[in-house]
Amino acid sequence: MAAPPSSRAGGGLTIQGKEEPVYSRAYPAELWVVADRLIDGTGRPLVERPALQVTDGRVGEVRAGGSAVVPPGAPVADLPGCTLLPGFVNGHAHVCLDATFDLFKHLETDPDGLLMSKMIGQAQAALRGGVTTIKDNGGRRDSTLVLRDALKAGILEGPTLVVGGVSLSNQWVGMDTRIAQTAEEVRHEATVQLAAGADFVHMYGSGSRMGRDLPRWQARYSTAEFRAAIETAAGFRKRVYVDTHATSGARAAVEAGVAALEHCYWVVEGGRIDMPQAILDQMARKGIYVVPTLSISYQRHPAPGGADQSWAQDRALGSFEARARVVEQMHRSGVKVVAGTDAGGWGTRFDEFPYELELLGQCGMSTMEVLRSATAVAAEFLDRQDELGTLVAGKRADIVAVKGDPLADLRTVWNIEAVFKDGRRWPGLASTS
């Protein structure tokens, strides 16, 4: 039975006077998933003809030999031609944003019920694209915490959400924002978020495309202010993740020792790109992750004709080729890369996570490294490696089945035949299009 949701001001999710949820998730008690290949995410060699046991929503045994090694009479999900992978983690998303070009207007004006309906739809759509865990960087008020708890309680089914609540910034940036302008205010606002149940602290570290108050090359916080957030979060055993477009924001955040830089565009005055090797070396040494969010910069669905085409490609970053070489340099310097799309953002749909993998595949990473950036490495980035990211006994039975062999051709990650969330089967992109 799932743990009851945390109770917060305004009432928890107690139903009919009972702490236990009425609609608890029904895991298959036992299931064997049979396929052609299995990549468990640990870096171990591929398993041919795997039979993976799911028991009470968790991974049990993994045997080689296909259906022949399944105990007689046990239920089987047979996926001929498929490769099994750990469920994907989208390392940067906003479940409250609807991927339209009017998203901030919608976020501001949608009534609560409509917003929550969209959020549920968007979270569930992510499953079709293989995403079984979403790191949500910022919602409207407590909406993402409520949705996370409803999912955890089994009231709804969908991916696991790991949420930052409302992001901190020194100025309003368009998204719902907790304004904190000094180290003391950072401590206070971070404490408010974490005490309300946020899984981490998210900060806007520099100007951006959306924060019109500040150029993209200016930091929002000093090293001391980032440090105040880190110390506060450490008191809750939580991490601090920072969006930064600016090299100055990256420098201050890395110096302070945040968990990750997201977007991380290395913009300096005048809009040029400048990525100092000394900062990369420091990131590698401190184990600071980067989430380059290529999907939002080079969108699959740019604004329709006549609308503002500047969103179609981030001109400050230059061509995709130029940006790919920046990501390659980070990777080569030993910085751990995590796949994240910024889903919910302009033209960036929740079910198109494979696009990020396809783009990362052009950044000098091996195919196995790309797959691990969305699985094992992403689980460590979230500090959830005990339950996610690899297909080994005891982990959540979060599984993606793709038709073909992604190690032979990374583009097969689009051919998602089925997705298993805690062992429960959902249709993948290939079976819905």
Residue nearest to Zn ion (CB): 342
- Spatial neighbors of 392 by CB under 8 A, at least 6 apart, are 40, 42, 59, 62
Q: Which is nearer to Zn ion, 40 or 314 (CB)?
A: 314
Return the residue matching tokens 């396929």.
35
C-beta of 136: minimal distance to Zn ion in Å?
A: 9
At 404 the three-state DSSP class reads: coil
Query: CA 119 from chain center: how many Å?
Result: 15
Using the contact rule CB under 5 A, the part of the chain among 198-206, 215-223, 336-344, 407-415 near Zn ion is: 336-344
C-beta of 243: minimal distance to Zn ion in Å?
A: 6
Binders of Zn ion in range 32-61 (CB under 5 A): none
225 makes contact with Zn ion (CB under 5 A):
no
Q: Which is nearer to Zn ion, 342 or 351 (CB)?
A: 342
Q: Number of residues in contact with Zn ion, rule: CB under 5 A? A: 1
Helix (H) or strand (E) holding 280: helix 277-286
Q: Which is nearer to Zn ion, 174 or 427 (CB)?
A: 174
Range 408-415 contact pairs with CB under 8 angstroms and sequence separation of 24 or more: 410/357, 410/358, 410/361, 410/367, 410/370, 411/358, 412/83, 413/130, 413/354, 413/357, 413/358, 413/371, 414/354, 414/358
98 makes contact with Zn ion (CB under 5 A):
no
Q: Which is nearer to Zn ion, 243 or 422 (CB)?
A: 243
C-beta of 342: minimal distance to Zn ion in Å?
A: 4
Q: Which is nearer to Zn ion, 142 or 342 (CB)?
A: 342
C-beta of 240: minimal distance to Zn ion in Å?
A: 15
C-beta of 204: minimal distance to Zn ion in Å?
A: 9
Q: Phi, psi at residue 239, to the nearest 5°?
A: -115, 165
Q: Which is nearer to Zn ion, 25 or 94 (CB)?
A: 94
C-beta of 263: minimal distance to Zn ion in Å?
A: 7
C-beta of 375: minimal distance to Zn ion in Å?
A: 21
Using the contact rule CB under 5 A, the part of the chain among 99-107, 302-310, 334-342, 411-419 near Zn ion is: 334-342
Return the residue matching tokens 């090797």.
277
Query: CA 184 from chain center: how many Å?
Result: 29
342 makes contact with Zn ion (CB under 5 A):
yes
- State how far the alpha carbon of 311 is from the alpha carbons of 296, 317, 413, in Å: 9, 12, 26
Nearest to 137 by CA among 343, 354, 378: 343
Q: Which is nearer to Zn ion, 204 or 426 (CB)?
A: 204
C-beta of 137: minimal distance to Zn ion in Å?
A: 5
At 178 the three-state DSSP class reads: strand
Q: Which is nearer to Zn ion, 35 or 258 (CB)?
A: 258
Provide the 10 A C-beta neighbour count for residue 374: 32
Q: Are 296 and 342 in contact (CB under 8 A)?
A: yes
| Contact pattern from residue 69 through residue 88 relative to Zn ion, giving x for each residue in contact according to CB under 5 A and a dash for the rest | --------------------
Tell me the C-alpha distance between 241 and 91, whole Å: 11
Using the contact rule CB under 5 A, the part of the chain among 128-136, 157-165, 302-310, 335-343 near Zn ion is: 335-343
Tell me the C-alpha distance between 369 and 361, whole Å: 9
C-beta of 104: minimal distance to Zn ion in Å?
A: 12
Q: Which is nearer to Zn ion, 149 or 342 (CB)?
A: 342
Binders of Zn ion in range 184-203 (CB under 5 A): none
Counting beta carbons within 10 angstroms of the beta carbon of residue 251, is it exposed (0 to 12), middle (13 to 18) or buried (19 or more)?
Answer: middle
Binding site for Zn ion (CB under 5 A): 342
